[in-house]
Amino acid sequence: MIIYIHGFGSSGKAFKARLLRRLYPEIPLYSPDLPQEPQQAIQFLEDFILNKCDSKQLLLIGSSLGGFFALHLHVKFHLFAVLLNPTVRPISNLESQINNRSNFDPSVSAEWQQRYLPHLAKYYHSPQEIHYERLYVYLNRDDEILNHRIAEEYFKQSNCTINLFDHGGHVFLNFPQILPGIISVYDQINS
- Cα separation of 158 and 119, whole Å? 24
CB 82 within 8 A of CB 59: yes
Which pLDDT does position 143 carry in this prediction?
A: 95
**Between the CA of residue 124 and those of 41, 60, 73, what are the distances in Å?**
15, 17, 11
Closest CA relative to residue 123, chosen from 5, 38, 57, 189: 38
pLDDT 10s digits, 22-67: 999 999 999 999 998 899 999 999 999 999 988 889 999 999 999 9
Domain ranges within the chain, ordered by starting residue: 2-189
Closest CA relative to residue 179, chosen from 52, 32, 12, 27: 27
- Cα separation of 13 and 150, whole Å? 28
SS3 28: coil
- At the fourth CATH level, which superfamily is domain 2-189? Alpha/Beta hydrolase fold, catalytic domain (3.40.50.1820)
Reported pTM: 0.90
Which pLDDT does position 10 carry in this prediction?
A: 86
